[in-house]
Structure 1
Amino acid sequence: MKNNEAELVLDADARAQIYIAGIDSRRVFPAQSALDALSAFDESLPEHGTSESTTIALLDEVGSPATVATNGPRYFGFVVGAALPVAAAAERLMLAWDNGAGTSMTAPASAAIEEVAGKWILDILDLPRESAVGFGTSASVCSLTCLTAARRALLIRAGWNPDENGVFGAPEIRVVISEKSHITILKALRVLGFGASRLLVAPVDEFGRIDPARMPLLDERTILCLQAGEVNTGEFDPFSEIIPKARAAGAWVHIDGAFGLWARVSEKLRHYTAGCEDADSWTVDGHKWLNTPYDCAMAICRDATSLAETLNSDAVYASGSINAQKNLTLDFSRRARGVPVWAALRTLGRKGVAEMVEQHCSQASRLAETLRAEGFEVINRVVLNQVLVRGETDAETQAVQAWAHNSGEVWFGMSSWGGKAAFRLSLSSWRTSDDDVARLASVLIAARHSFRLRELG
């Protein structure tokens, strides 16, 4: 096996390069024949091992055709960036290191790089420089991390030590969420034991932003969850109106900024995030607008000590500093997720990230104008990179999405707004050119025309 290692890695890398080279011409969603072929993986567990080369061949020859081209230029479904070449390359090298990046003792290089990456994240997002940055798998897990720290901090302020006493019998912690909170926030709260019926829901305005005039009461035992980038409309809660009141009441403010926080890197867009720096914790994804590979997000907490104490996993055989990643994330054994973040930021620089974000927002605005001119209803104001669209009826809206999906040219998903069907177009891939956006518009127009011809019989 050892003698074949280099050959095996070269084979896998060659196959990966072929895949990437053809990403522009690949169907965005795989054909049914490719999906049917996945049955080849449904084997009985081999009694005796098979060859390494045939394993890689099967993975590529059957697996690759059945992938969704999220790494390509015409995937407009979820807010997902394509992996920047330098971020993907850095991750490949990191995998070769194969260090468990929990502490500097087990991964000195990774620890040093992630410490720098954390400082750069606070710098480029202009968040309090004393904050702790934990590199986690996703905004879901990072939200869970921050909300756990929030509950612990509020309980300690109330004179209850959850580390010793747990949460049974503890003073009640209230949670206020937006009517449009992302499902990952609800999931994190459910895992923490905050049942849906116990959550206090803040009504929103027509754009999906919390209405400050209709906020539930806040106090020193309240966690308030706000949004930077509502998943359908891209809108931002009015931080500068809400957060000062929350802080005066002693509440903990958490901001779900999975993609919207990246607006802070642009002078043109930064005003949408005004006041968000006064929150207590934030989550932001790398694999969305920074275009790192998947499995990369950040939990950011103003009170670094509070986060480290909440997630501390020091043991007699594996202790770490207060800023060791195993004490800032849920993972004890972990990969160095901050390495691709560092690679992306070092390569793009502040201006490069800003230009990428601004380009996608400009493309979204132009796309909205084109679709409006063609008779589509664009529901949102398009303040960011999200375009929420519908046809004249639910049937037409659904038919357009299905036609576009089946074409293989583009992919995007369905949503709803105001009880009516809509589809959401998200622009966040560094590979997406203006031509790709024009191609998307052409597909949508053709899909609508096809539906109307069919309706006419």
Structure 2
Amino acid sequence: MNQRSDESHRDRSDLRALLVRAAEHAAAFHASLPGRPVRPQADLDTLRKAFGGPLPSDPTPPDEVLAALVAAAEPGLMGSPGPRFFGFVVGGTLPAAMAADMLAVGWDQNAFNAALAPAGIAAEEAAGAWLKELLTLPASASVGFVTGAQAANTVGLVTARHHVLAQAGWDVERRGLGGAPEIRVVVGEERHATIDRSVRLIGIGTDAVTTVRTDRNGAIDVADLERVLASGGGRPSIVCLQAGNVNTGACDDLRAAIRLTHRHGGWVHVDGAFGLWAAASPAKRHLVAGIELADSWACDAHKWLNVPYDSAFAITSRPDAHAAAMSYSAPYLTGAGATVGGADYTAESSRRSRGFAVWAALRELGRDGVAGLVERCCALAERFADGMRAAGFEVVNDVVLNQVLVGFGDDTRTDEIVAAVQRDGTCWLGATSWRGRRLMRISVSNHLTTEADVDRSVAAITRIARSVL
């Protein structure tokens, strides 16, 4: 064996050992999650010092880099993939999805199109077909694999903008928005903030937003929606509905709202970042009845499907409009335009192959497993609510999915209790403002969470709240 062959063999052996060590560190972190405090052990200033300092002049061997990274990061890791993290709406990571995502990094496939990454595109197509079947969406719909709900909502609204302006005889891709017919964006007063950001990003502007009242649990008031649509004066309308209110979990009356919007010639986009997964559950599907009638949908995989960050879907009922709004081509892009998919449905050209992890998660769970995951999290959220009520605290919302809002009588005390729970480390959750009150916000989204985790968390919150109160 010559010197170059010896060096190549050694490099391959070193890489294998390095990746094995990295996987061992990841596995050890996940194994520690049930027992470790959920909060990070180091504050941000300490972590900045650990990661900081001058850039070295000389190269550093990869194994030393890995060891330094682990030493710097480990004290600052949040236990968000673990069973007692109830902040935001953060899922865990299914074993097959985690392993598939590690392979995706190792394979390093840019899923721009089928010429560049045929396996990546095929995985997206298969996972997308399974996804539409699970969520009861049209089989003909297009699926773009994006980073999160912000990207998914933006793609959905860009497609909506293309469609409603084309219906009005305006080519927005060629002529822009200057002089275009004025678009109205109709939203519930409790929509997610990413909707407003998307409206800004696509150039419509928040002055075009018209707000519709919501009911006591945060679902849109269909009668008020009818009033707003009737006052539109013939302007093109995009209506944004919600499957899963960010605070309460409430779902809009989708069937009624979609039919009403379509009668007025509008486009319906559904922000279903986590709530759209209710469609996969026979027990919860009634909450999103009529979802298949919409024109576009946003949904996250890294929430209730428990796929690693970052992973979400931008889905539309009109693939031609989707591609017309998002795709592009150039002479050097081999395979561009041969088939539609991949980057044609997203705002990214350089795209990690997210389809591998989604495919693996759906394959691991199957139809019954996805339904079971949704139903189990909902049952655990109800258990959380029951525990809070039994301890004498107020559960403010109707617990219809996986969201629980708890009040402690006083806004300042509520924030103090939430901060104390975070410091305690038994569990982690956040606070929110809803209907003029500061409330504890609990989200149950992790496949690892058990009844014992909920009971342990309820006991910790109760102990801490009583000490504050």
Task: Please give the TM-score of this superposition, normalised by the length of structure 1.
Answer: 0.96
After superposition, the C-alpha distances for 1:100-148 in whole angstroms (9 at most, x for unaligned) are 1111111111111111111111100010111000000111011111100
Does structure 2 conserve the Cα–Cα contact (< 8 Å) formed by 1:74 and 1:409?
yes
What residue number does 1:432 align with?
A: 449
What residue number does 2:458 align with?
A: 441
Does structure 2 conserve the Cα–Cα contact (< 8 Å) formed by 1:368 and 1:378?
yes
> How many Å separate the matches in 2 of 1:21 and 1:354?
26
Residue 62 in structure 1 maps to residue 72 in structure 2: yes
Residue 309 in structure 1 maps to residue 319 in structure 2: no
Moved more, 260-269 or 187-196: 187-196
1:295 to partner: Cα distance: 0.9
> How many Å separate the matches in 2 of 1:42 and 1:62?
10
Instruction: Describe how 1:373-388 pairs up with structure 2 within 5 A.
Output: 373-388=390-405
Instruction: Describe how 1:41-120 pairs up with structure 2 within 5 A.
Output: 41-120=51-130
CA RMSD of aligned residues (A): 1.4
1:78 to partner: Cα distance: 1.1
After superposition, the C-alpha distances for 1:287-345 in whole angstroms (9 at most, x for unaligned) are 00000001100000000111011111222222144432110111111011111111111
> How many Å separate the matches in 1 of 2:290 and 2:376?
24
In structure 2, do the counterparts of structure 1 residues 322 and 246 end up closer, same or farther at CA, with 3 Å as the change threshold?
farther
Residue 232 in structure 1 maps to residue 241 in structure 2: no
> How many Å separate the matches in 2 of 1:6 and 1:35?
34
The number of aligned residues is 452
Q: Residue 309 of structure 2 aligns to which amino acid in structure 1?
A: Y
What residue number does 1:416 align with?
A: 433
> How many Å separate the matches in 1 of 2:463 and 2:398?
24
Q: Residue 283 of structure 1 aligns to which amino acid in structure 2?
A: A
What residue number does 2:306 align with?
A: 291
Which of 201, 208, 212 is residue 198 of structure 1 equivalent to?
208
Does structure 1 conserve the Cα–Cα contact (< 8 Å) formed by 2:385 and 2:404?
yes
> How many Å separate the matches in 1 of 2:309 and 2:298?
15
1:154 to partner: Cα distance: 0.9
> How many Å separate the matches in 1 of 2:224 and 2:152?
28
> How many Å separate the matches in 1 of 2:104 and 2:140?
27
Residue 272 in structure 1 maps to residue 287 in structure 2: yes
After superposition, the C-alpha distances for 1:47-93 in whole angstroms (9 at most, x for unaligned) are 22222122111111120220111111110001111011100101111
Which of 39, 49, 66 is residue 39 of structure 1 equivalent to?
49
After superposition, the C-alpha distances for 1:2-40 in whole angstroms (9 at most, x for unaligned) are 342122112211211211111112221112468624412
What residue number does 1:209 align with?
A: 219
1:220 to partner: Cα distance: 6.1
Moved more, 285-294 or 24-33: 24-33
Does structure 1 conserve the Cα–Cα contact (< 8 Å) formed by 2:182 and 2:235?
no
> How many Å separate the matches in 1 of 2:338 and 2:300?
25
> How many Å separate the matches in 2 of 1:320 and 1:160?
24
In structure 2, do the counterparts of structure 1 residues 449 and 76 end up closer, same or farther at CA, with 3 Å as the change threshold?
same
In structure 2, do the counterparts of structure 1 residues 418 and 33 end up closer, same or farther at CA, with 3 Å as the change threshold?
closer
> How many Å separate the matches in 2 of 1:37 and 1:284?
33
Instruction: Describe how 1:281-360 pairs up with structure 2 within 5 A.
Output: 281-318=296-333, 319-360=336-377
Aligned residue for 1:242, secondary structure, equals: helix
> How many Å separate the matches in 1 of 2:69 and 2:273?
31
> How many Å separate the matches in 1 of 2:320 and 2:11?
44
What residue number does 1:402 align with?
A: 419
> How many Å separate the matches in 2 of 1:328 and 1:321?
14
Task: Please give the TM-score of this superposition, normalised by the length of structure 2.
Answer: 0.94
In structure 2, do the counterparts of structure 1 residues 224 and 322 end up closer, same or farther at CA, with 3 Å as the change threshold?
farther
Consecutive unaligned residues of structure 1, counting only runs of 5 or more, are 453-457
Q: Residue 127 of structure 2 aligns to which amino acid in structure 1?
A: A
Does structure 2 conserve the Cα–Cα contact (< 8 Å) formed by 1:258 and 1:285?
yes
Identity %: 41
Q: Residue 447 of structure 2 aligns to which amino acid in structure 1?
A: W
> How many Å separate the matches in 1 of 2:456 and 2:128?
38
Moved more, 243-252 or 322-331: 322-331
Consecutive unaligned residues of structure 2, counting only runs of 5 or more, are 1-9
Which of 409, 417, 423 is residue 392 of structure 1 equivalent to?
409
> How many Å separate the matches in 1 of 2:177 and 2:339?
24
Instruction: Describe how 1:103-142 pairs up with structure 2 within 5 A.
Output: 103-142=113-152
Does structure 2 conserve the Cα–Cα contact (< 8 Å) formed by 1:308 and 1:322?
no
Moved more, 210-219 or 340-349: 210-219
What residue number does 2:36 align with?
A: 26
Which of 271, 274, 291 is residue 259 of structure 1 equivalent to?
274
